[in-house]
Structure 1
């Protein structure tokens, strides 16, 4: 079969790879219909996440049609349409039973790597390096889905393929940021990052009752898209002081909830960007926490900061004093998708949650390298490249 493979830094190619096979009775083989790039995939392309091997199939946000199931699969049968959560979960460990699905104890097949890095191993992820299990990703004609009854979710008939696609990762990730960030009716919410996850966090905040939602980015086309789709307020940090704009919007207090949806390669116009770039290139820090710092500094006293962006290790100049003395609650997580996806599919079916506008560039898998190129360079107003198989 054909698949898009990582061959080195900034080098992805469509190649022939062996067809997947059932390896256990809880496995399922899925024929992929749609698979999309994700901002966190760019960390793989740039070599920021070092645990890749040439020939690894990438991609983790996808939907498709069931073609084969193991004898232990009871929820799905051939011909079903399903969306697959990016995190593989067993459904029975302590973390799964407590709906902390991305922390599943039984799906990361290379736990020693992340135990060394973080003191514990989270669950496995499709196509996201050998640190997260080394599973083949979704930019392929077929994918093996382990623990299929818990990892894949049926798609309601009223939800078309493209809308369902983003329920795999972007939508539940964004919703989790607003939910676990504690958004409640009447709040003012600020979201750093206006890609797919940031837009979904903003919409989730609205649906949870936020009075005002402001999104922060430097690309006008992404800000315009969010404004048109959801009516949010926008701040372009390239030409506006974020701190001043947020104080003005909140009567001098600051947002109640700040959601960081940027991650470990954040950009800035200030001197902190040069500082973090130099430190990371010299391996004196691993990530650029610019947006996290800004969220902590600008959140109101007693407010909440939620970190949605992917981070890999140690950062410098973390504002611990601001966090403590302002009485902030700071949380972070990879998505607990299985907690949210069924509910989100129902909201998509009802029309209150729109997602298909994120697919700005739809193309065949054979153009996978180009899809990543325009997504990475933000060319042609690309929000998401989607591969149609």
Structure 2
């Protein structure tokens, strides 16, 4: 079959790879009908290169049609249409019983000290072949895949795999009352969905922060106030000015380690990722730093006693944080990989209605064949041609 494979630093290609086969009785084989490029995939394109090997199949946002099921999969049958959560969880271990599906003890990558296995996301998370391919093997299919019963277009459901529950969890973690104010830093796909989700949940006031005019316009159209990062010399001061001098009740960091700012840290990250594999992995795991502009802005912006919610991915192990400020302000921090299945019942019902209430069908700006995936990665990274979200069609 054809699949998008990692070949090297900022080098991906569609190549021929072996068809997936059932390996365990709880497996299923899915024929992929739609798969998206996520902002997290750009980390694989660059800074997480030391954890990849040439030929690794990428992609963790995908959906499709069940082709085969293992002997112990009785909830699915060939022909069923499903969307697949990006984290692989068993549904019955100690962590899963508590809704902590991203920490599933059955699939934890204990040799790396990491949480649950993820599709298409490096040796840190189990080197499980991803879904930017014609077919995919889905472990623990007796629990993970979400069966879809109606005929809405794929893009109504595709984002249930990752970015919609990630945004939803980020809003929940921010812990903002209905009469409070939430600031969302970064208005990419997760940030924009967080804006829409927060307003849908009834949060009175949402402020979006970004520097790309098209993204600011989308947030404004959704009902948010916006702050243009390119015009605001001091974002925390601007947010305090907009909130009676206190700051927002919650700040959601939807940017992560790709934040603008700190060019020295940016160069250090790039330099580490280009070292030989074992040396690079050691540097990242013991001395790695991130560009922390977004997180530092969140900490400085949030009101005293407020909450910073982190949905953007960070990977450094030696990041300096303003602990004195954090302690003095008494802020709370919530973060982590999304526990997708924790939010699935509520979100599945929400997106299945007659109306596309979160605007999911209009999220993608580019829909291209899988064969053009390499060019799409480059376009997405460089934000060319107004690229906001790319959907690949095998």
Alpha-carbon distance between aligned partners in 2 of 1:175 and 1:297, rounded to the nearest angstrom: 23
| 1:148-163 equivalent positions in 2, closer than 5 A | 148-157=141-150, 159-163=152-156
Corresponding residue for 1:290?
293
Shift of 1:160: 2.3
Alpha-carbon distance between aligned partners in 2 of 1:28 and 1:12, rounded to the nearest angstrom: 26
Corresponding residue for 2:308?
305
Corresponding residue for 1:209?
202
Taking structure 1 as reference, are residues 282 and 79 closer, same or farther at Cα in structure 2, changes over 3 Å only? closer
Alpha-carbon distance between aligned partners in 1 of 2:318 and 2:116, rounded to the nearest angstrom: 23
The answer to whether the Cα contact below 8 Å between 1:159 and 1:348 also exists between their aligned partners in 2 is no
Shift of 1:216: 1.1
Alpha-carbon distance between aligned partners in 1 of 2:20 and 2:169, rounded to the nearest angstrom: 32
Query: Equivalent of 2:230, from 228, 238, 241?
Result: 238
Alpha-carbon distance between aligned partners in 2 of 1:373 and 1:382, rounded to the nearest angstrom: 10
Alpha-carbon distance between aligned partners in 1 of 2:256 and 2:92, rounded to the nearest angstrom: 30
Q: How many residues align?
A: 377
The answer to whether the Cα contact below 8 Å between 1:259 and 1:295 also exists between their aligned partners in 2 is yes
The answer to whether the Cα contact below 8 Å between 2:46 and 2:270 also exists between their aligned partners in 1 is no
Residue 364 in structure 1 maps to residue 369 in structure 2: yes
Shift of 1:303: 0.2
Report the aligned-residue RMSD.
1.5
Corresponding residue for 2:193?
200
Corresponding residue for 2:378?
373
Shift of 1:282: 5.8
Corresponding residue for 2:343?
340
Alpha-carbon distance between aligned partners in 2 of 1:67 and 1:174, rounded to the nearest angstrom: 30
Query: Equivalent of 1:324, from 319, 324, 327?
Result: 327
Corresponding residue for 1:111?
110
Shift of 1:202: 1.5
TM-score by length of 1: 0.94
The answer to whether the Cα contact below 8 Å between 1:111 and 1:133 also exists between their aligned partners in 2 is no
Shift of 1:47: 3.4
The answer to whether the Cα contact below 8 Å between 1:158 and 1:349 also exists between their aligned partners in 2 is no
The answer to whether the Cα contact below 8 Å between 2:168 and 2:197 also exists between their aligned partners in 1 is yes
Shift of 1:388: 1.0
Taking structure 1 as reference, are residues 211 and 315 closer, same or farther at Cα in structure 2, changes over 3 Å only? farther
Shift of 1:210: 1.1
The SS at the match of 2:251 is strand
Shift of 1:315: 4.1
Corresponding residue for 1:276?
265
Residue 10 in structure 1 maps to residue 10 in structure 2: yes
Corresponding residue for 1:81?
81
* Structure 2: segments with no counterpart, 5+ residues: 273-286
Residue 388 in structure 1 maps to residue 381 in structure 2: no
The SS at the match of 1:227 is helix
Alpha-carbon distance between aligned partners in 2 of 1:349 and 1:92, rounded to the nearest angstrom: 27
Corresponding residue for 2:65?
65
The SS at the match of 1:255 is coil
The SS at the match of 1:171 is helix
Shift of 1:68: 0.7
| 1:114-263 equivalent positions in 2, closer than 5 A | 115=113, 121-157=114-150, 159-228=152-221, 230-240=222-232, 241-263=234-256
TM-score by length of 2: 0.92
The SS at the match of 1:363 is strand
Shift of 1:287: 1.4
Shift of 1:158: 5.4
The answer to whether the Cα contact below 8 Å between 1:181 and 1:331 also exists between their aligned partners in 2 is yes
| 1:19-98 equivalent positions in 2, closer than 5 A | 19-98=19-98
Corresponding residue for 1:102?
102
The SS at the match of 2:102 is helix
